[in-house]
Amino acid sequence: MRLVRLQKLLAHAGVCSRREGENYIRQGIVRVNGEVVTTLGTKVDPGRDRITVAGKTVRIAQELIYIALNKPAGTITSCRQKNARIVLDLVEIPQRIYPVGRLDKDSTGLLLLTNDGSLHQRLAHPSFDHEKEYEVTVAHPLSDAALQQMEAGLPLDGTMTRPAKIKKLSAKRFRMVLMEGKKRQIRRMVEQVGNRVVRLKRLRVANVRLGKLAEGAWRHLTEKEKAGLLNERLRKKSLASHMESAMKND
């Protein structure tokens, strides 16, 4: 459930400023689902709750939102999880958004969030063929043979994983570019070659890079990034250039 402060929602909807919204709440002219609300800081769900000011319904135009978040370890990639910190707790905006794909609880790095259902479907569908780039640290040194095994593909869930691209950074660290997303795929592949992941960080999804975004921080995608995700022709061109440079040193 995505909750925002009532006065912030009123300001975003263009009803008033936040300070004026606080005054409206104190005056008792703001109702949520028919009930008068006079407590400042009350949180509401813009997608479910009906809000009125002096009897007039507050409406929020559907604005398409595209966000990049640097997910910290320990945060759950979910829209709802009882007694746990979820990624939506890190992004306080009035619109209802949801994560595109998943990063497991212990993993960090780039996570996209949006309210654009069509983009979510395209990115989640296997035919999209978008790249996801990770930096992986393992418990024990990995041999070149083990890296080559993972690069060529390993059996998971009854099928072979698709060929990946891997660049060795040190004895225990490498970068990996995948074009699929099986559950806990990298961790399970590393286990198959007799090792264990101790740190997993996503650096890129398609043409969107994590860059220097601080852990726990978020930003709106740039127009160029949105175009790369939304425009099929630009996407193919962008991914071709990223494929060429993905394994180069930063």
Residues 111 and 195 in one domain: yes
At 195, list the tokens: 């090792």
The DSSP call for residue 104 is -
Residues 159 and 186 in one domain: yes
At 215, list the tokens: 């852990």
* Residue in 45, 49, 104, 106 annotated catalytic: 104
Q: For 170-208, how does the pLDDT look when each residue is reduced to its tens digit (9 = 90+)? A: 999 999 999 888 889 999 999 999 999 999 999 999 999
Let me know if residue 106 belongs to a domain.
yes
Q: Work out how many domains the chain is built from and give that number.
A: 2
User: 181-210 burial by CB neighbour count: b if 16+ within 10 A, else e?
Assistant: beebbbbebbeebebebeebbbbbbbbbbb
Task: State yes or no: pLDDT of 72 exceeds 90.
Answer: yes
Q: For 74-126, how does the pLDDT look when each residue is reduced to its tens digit (9 = 90+)? A: 999 987 777 788 999 999 887 778 888 889 999 999 999 988 877 776 776 65
Residues 39 and 19 in one domain: yes
Domain interval for residue 15: 4-57
Q: What is the CATH number of the domain that holds 135?
A: 3.30.2350.10
Residue 104: active-site member: yes
Which residue from 98, 1, 14, 112 is spatially nearest to 47, judged by alpha carbons? 1
